[in-house]
Amino acid sequence: MNRFSYLRASSVSEAVAAVAGDPAARFIAGGTNLVDLMKYDVEKPGRLVDITRLPLNAIEETADGGLKIGALVPNSDLAYDQRVRRDYPLLSSAILAGASAQLRNAATTGGNLLQRTRCYYFYDVATPCNKREPGSGCSAIGGATRIHAILGASDSCIATHPSDMCVALAALEAVVHVQGPKGDRTIPIADFHRLPGDTPETDNTLEHGEMVTAVELPAPRFGAHHTYLKLRDRLSYAFALVSIAAAVELDGDVIGEVRVALGGVAHKPWRDADAEGALKGALPSSSAFADFADRLLSGAKGQGENDFKVELAKRAIVRALGQAAAGTPQVQSVKQVN
């Protein structure tokens, strides 16, 4: 690990000013990803600003029936919160599908949004990587691509965003609250993460010094009709090859509103609102779900080793929508997929 200075912030504004005024400074909270990256010399901050003593660890009900989750709420506290389990079981399930119990105890809500790709080449400082070192090239293209993108990739980067929580947040249309040197703002989750384009070093739309202070969920609407289906190379404690967050509103026998977000396939959680709209009014059936999956995956392109993910994602979408429509969500400790 490189040498750095340490500041324990006593207010949000102090923390924001300390990071905004120093290009080499980083916020640190749970540290589960940042400390890991520092051990690999991928991240070499000159200064860490510790925000863990700030009062951002509450889950509060909002005036319009939603929840506002403080940025420092640990992933485990969020997943097991009674209101979240009752009203946003999709979010609870997605969080419990990710990482390990130890990591979920330490990792925070804000930090989960900001975790970086697990692309092997991003972590290996001996190889070129445009995300780690802009302009150096992409070693993943033409390399080992099992965990890489099939949607929205570029000639500069084919990395994926690794979060499970964010896939559920995308389906639930969460809003991220941010405080920065220029004041406060809110960012819809769909606009928070970005595609790599020719600047893959930038994972999201935050400016340096802007701090996530909360994540807000709109009022709950999907009841039991949801699922988080995660497919991976071992049965627990592994990143997704493909994951599906699905939520369905039924209008009598037919489908009303649908939300489907994909994880493990792109540089951000992947959604297609037009495809979701086209499902409205259809009877829930495997063929309707398969048509939806074809549409959501239109434009998908494998990188060779991960070509299988296109078909895997389509079939997983059909299963997930079936689970959501039936109100029989995947339970994360049950490894059989029905």
Partner 1 sequence: MAQAQAAATSVTLTVNGESKTLDVAPWETLLDVLRERLHLTGAKKGCDQGQCGACTVLVDGRRVNSCLQLAVMRDGCEITTIEGLGEPASLHAMQAAFVKHDAFQCGYCTPGQICSAVGMIREGHAETAEEIRELMSGNLCRCGAYTNIVEAIEEVLAERNAPKLEAAE
CB of 13 to partner 1, least distance (A): 12
Choose, by CB under 8 A, the member of 44, 47, 295, 301 that binds partner 1.
47
Q: Does 105 bind partner 1 (CB under 8 A)?
A: yes
CB of 120 to partner 1, least distance (A): 13
Question: By the 8 A CB rule, do 140 and 121 touch?
Answer: yes
Q: Does 102 bind partner 1 (CB under 8 A)?
A: yes
Burial of 86 (0-12, 13-18, 19+ CB in 10 A): exposed
Name, in order, each residue with C-beta under 8 angstroms of 86's C-beta and a sequence gap of 6 or more. Answer: none
Q: Which of residues 62-91 bind partner 1 (CB under 8 A)?
A: 76, 80
Of the pair 108, 130, the CB lying nearest partner 1 is at 108
| Contact flags string 214-253 toward partner 1, x per CB under 8 A | ---------------------xxx----------------
- Residue 67 and residue 62: Cα distance in Å, rounded? 5
Q: Does 103 bind partner 1 (CB under 8 A)?
A: yes
Q: Under rule CB under 8 A, how many of the chain's residues touch partner 1?
A: 40
Q: Does 186 bind partner 1 (CB under 8 A)?
A: no
Choose, by CB under 8 A, the member of 1, 24, 254, 273 that binds partner 1.
1
CB of 39 to partner 1, least distance (A): 6
Range in contact with partner 1 (rule: CB under 8 A) among 44-52, 176-184, 196-204, 258-266? 44-52
Question: By the 8 A CB rule, do 42 and 61 touch?
Answer: no
CB of 14 to partner 1, least distance (A): 7
- Residue 167 and residue 170: Cα distance in Å, rounded? 5
Q: Does 3 bind partner 1 (CB under 8 A)?
A: yes
CB of 92 to partner 1, least distance (A): 11
- Residue 337 and residue 231: Cα distance in Å, rounded? 10
Range in contact with partner 1 (rule: CB under 8 A) among 102-110, 153-161, 246-254, 303-311? 102-110
Amino acid at 210: E
Q: Does 106 bind partner 1 (CB under 8 A)?
A: yes
Q: Which of residues 319-338 bind partner 1 (CB under 8 A)?
A: 332-335
CB of 294 to partner 1, least distance (A): 33
Q: Does 2 bind partner 1 (CB under 8 A)?
A: yes
Of the pair 102, 298, the CB lying nearest partner 1 is at 102
CB of 84 to partner 1, least distance (A): 14
Of the pair 37, 245, the CB lying nearest partner 1 is at 37
Q: Does 4 bind partner 1 (CB under 8 A)?
A: yes
Q: Return residues touching partner 1 (CB under 8 A).
A: 1-10, 14, 18, 28, 31-32, 35-36, 38-40, 47-48, 50, 52, 76, 80, 99-103, 105-106, 235-237, 332-335
